[in-house]
Amino acid sequence: MSPASVVISFSGNAALRVASRLADREAGWRLVHHLARFIDAARVPGIDGVVPTYDAALIEIDPVEVSLEQVRDYVAHLIDGLDADRPLTETPRCFDIPVLYDLDGELDLQVVADAQGLSVADVVRLHSESTYVVRCLGAPGGSPMLDGPPFPFPVPRLTSPRPHVPQGMVSVAGRQATITPAPAPGGWPLIGRTPLTVLDLDAEPFVPYEPGDLIRFRPIDADEYESLRGTRMVAR
Amino acid sequence: MIAGALAVSEAGFAQVTDLGRRRGPRFGVPVNGALDQRSARIANILVGNAEEAPLLEITALDVEFVPDVDILIAVTGAACHLTVDGVERPSRQPVSVRAGETIALRHVHGGLRAYLAVRGSFDVPLLLGSCAPDSVLGFGARLGNGASIPLRRATVPIVNDHFGAELYRFGVPQLSADRIVDVTDGPDAEDFGETADRLFDEPYLVGPASNHIGLRMTGSLPDRRVQGEVLSRGVPVGAVEVPPGDELLVLHRGRGVTAGYPVLAVVTSTSLDVLAQVRPGERVCFRKTTVAAASARARADRSELDSLRLRVQSAFTALDALSTTTTGRNLQ
């Protein structure tokens, strides 16, 4: 791609932000992830790591080992050789996530349905009929960040965030969706929970999925929830 | 290899950490690690460890430890009162401790965090190459009373047999007491228009909800002039953000890796060490600098540490030779 397809800005003296300028958001997403993977595999001295998200990548450096200018020029050179049309993963893995949807009104499913002018059953159907691409890994704890289900409107965030969201919660906000792999505070409306354990701290990497993999949600009942509780999340 | 253990008799608010999980952010987890990186590096250098070796980060409260083998320690960071079996010992110098003696670190002042390194370091579990605790993942933890930390190595006392004093003094600069925090323009500074410069108007008061994730401050708040939802993006450690509410948020090493707030400014890598030592209730001043000046400062700081490491290495090498010929002992 032409180096003009990104904007590179310094983000302090130990990081750079590379943001896509491509009109095609899918291509922009692929571009920043291809960049991250290339740099990660190249193990460049002085570059600590890359955090690719939707349309940007944050490159963290040790300013004693390399200069921001050197890394900026290196990135511009790499962008020149990357093909944003190439798929991120040749054969994406697919993860089936059983979900006990919040039909008892314990969480926020009803609130989400009301805001969309939909029934609870419609929200469950829209959420569980889609196939989601893992766009990036985010906070907390390597959450799989997904594009949201095809709801009519963006989902408003909670007016007051929960101080403690347990692991396994399935949530939506704006035009995004995710699963909470680790307990943390959170302002996203919760629509269900999965009995699966997402993270395995004894494995490396400890998150089972990577950007480009696919996720599907499958409604289950309380009995199945209990029988699956604690099962590891693995690809189909 | 395990050579002994350090028993924790008073845990205070301490944890075993290191320079952080540099591979973490790629997997969506923060880098974490010692908040005052320079002090942590110096502690390890003073006992001849690799700079990234696991060491103790001691926040504010008194702590007490007892090793079951002879060890060599060094304490750096915030000023504190260090005693070994009740005898006052210097900070920012290697200090020998015999098996069964009590190491007490009390009255942390002039800062918030002290660091204690042991020659040979600790044998602790790693995640992605780092022992740094991650409270979100539930990896690692604060020390508890009665805990025992495995030691990788014993070190016979390095003292003058006749006077009981250590045989060296390394000139290690003390922490600066001023609370000036250098920042460069953030990638989204434009979103704040002319209000961005309010950051430099007057000091900010550090609030009680500040921690390793970030510091919350009150003062003259810049206004975001561009509205609309921002896509989640990677945010650097040191990012200065203005979330809804009446506080400025300055992210530190425990920060969530992605966020959807615009980044107004970014604290320089060396000033993050200053923030690590600021207590709630103190005031800090932001000062604008350039990326070039900040990077030059980072390089100058590190070369100072490189020269300290060389001095420590030559002293240890000389002592090794000395003790082998005079007493038959050596540092191993």
Q: Residue B299: its pLDDT value, please?
A: 96
Count the Cβ atoms, other than its own, within 10 Å of residue B253.
23
CA dist., res. A217 & res. A77, Å (int): 40
Return the pLDDT at A207.
94
- Put simply, the answer to whether B27 touches A207 (Cβ < 8 Å) is yes
Chain A / chain B CB contacts < 8 angstroms: 149
How does the average pLDDT of chain B come out, rounded? 91
Cα distance between residue B67 and residue B162, in whole Å = 24
pLDDT value of position B332? 46
Residue A78 has a pLDDT of: 96
The per-residue pLDDT for A161 is 82
The mean pLDDT value for A125-145 works out to 94
Confidence (pLDDT) at B229: 64
A15: which chain B residues are within 8 Å (Cβ-Cβ)?
Answer: 236-237, 266
pLDDT of residue B174: 76
Least confident of A171-180, B76-85, B164-173: B164-173
pLDDT band at B316 (very low <50, low <70, confident <90, very high): confident
Chain A contact for B258 (CB, 8 A cutoff):
yes
Choose among B27, B232, B263: nearest Cβ to A142: B27
- pLDDT score of B160: 62
Q: What is the average per-residue pLDDT within A39-58? A: 95
Q: What is the enclosing helix (H) or strand (E) of B205? A: strand B204-206
Residue B243 at interface with chain A, using a CB cutoff of 8 Å: no
- pLDDT for res A73: 96
Q: What is the nearest CA distance from B231 to chain A, expressed in angstroms?
A: 7
Q: Which of B49, B54, B58 is nearest to B19 (CA)?
A: B54
Distance of CA B195 to the CA centre of its chain: 33
Chain B contacts of A35, Cβ < 8 Å?
Answer: none
User: Model confidence at B158, in pLDDT bands (50, 70, 90)?
Assistant: confident
Q: pLDDT at position B224, please? A: 87
Give contacts of B22 with chain A, Cβ < 8 Å.
48-49, 60
| Percentage with pLDDT > 70 across chain B | 93
Answer whether residue B167 shows pLDDT above 70: no
- pLDDT value, residue B328: 46
What was the pLDDT predicted at B82? 97
Between the alpha carbon of residue A187 and those of residues A157, A158, A163, the distances in Å are 6, 5, 9
Mean pLDDT for A185-201 is: 94
Average pLDDT over residues A50-67: 96
Residue B267 is nearest to which of A12, A57, A143, comparing CB atoms?
A12
| Chain B residues in contact with A53 (beta carbon < 8 A) | 231-234, 258
Closest residue of A to B139, CA-based?
A: A201
Given a cut of 90, is residue A186 above it in pLDDT? Answer: no
Confidence (pLDDT) at B323: 62
pLDDT on residue B322: 61
Contact A140 B27 (CB under 8 A): no
For residue A159, the chain B residue with the least C-alpha distance is: B244
What pLDDT does A114 receive?
96
Per-residue model confidence (pLDDT) at position B164 = 57
Q: Is the pLDDT of residue A158 over 90?
A: no
pLDDT(B14) > 90: yes
Average pLDDT, chain A: 94
% of chain B with per-residue pLDDT over 90: 79
User: Over the range A195-209, which residues count as b (16 or more CB within 10 Å of their CB) and which as e?
Assistant: bbbbbeeeeebbbbb
- The gap from C-alpha A53 to its chain's centroid, in whole angstroms, comes to 7
Interface of B with A in 68-127 (CB under 8 A): 127
Chain B residues with CB under 8 Å of A184 CB are 136
| Cβ within 8 Å, pair A53-B232 | yes
B25–A51: do the CB atoms touch at under 8 Å?
A: yes
**B22 closest CB neighbour out of A48, A199, A206:** A48
Q: Mean pLDDT, to the nearest integer, of A61-89?
A: 95
How far does the CA of residue A63 sit from the closest CA of chain B (Å)? 6
**Residue-level pLDDT at B166:** 65
Residues in chain A within 8 Å Cβ distance of B232: 53-54, 136, 138, 145, 176
Q: Which residues pair with A8 in a beta bridge?
A: A18
Q: What is the pLDDT of residue A184?
A: 87
**For A10-33, what is each residue's pLDDT tens digit?**
999 999 999 999 999 999 999 999
Name the closest residue on chain B to residue A154, using Cα atoms.
Answer: B229
Find chain A residues with C-beta within 8 A of B31's C-beta.
Answer: 48, 60
Q: What is the reported pLDDT for B226?
A: 79
Element housing B106 (H / E): strand B103-118
Higher pLDDT, B230 or B177: B177
Segment B122-138 mean pLDDT: 95
Nearest-CA distance B60 → chain A (Å): 25
pTM of the model: 0.92
CA distance A173 to A148: 8
Taking an 8 Å cut-off on Cβ atoms, the answer to whether A52 and B234 are in contact is yes
Contacts with B258 from chain A: Cβ below 8 Å: 51, 53, 136, 138-139, 145
User: From CA A172, how far away is CA A139, in angstroms rounded?
Assistant: 14
Q: Is the pLDDT of residue B290 over 90?
A: yes
Contacts of B30 in chain A (CB under 8 A): 139
Q: Is the pLDDT of residue B321 over 70?
A: no
pLDDT(B173) > 80: no
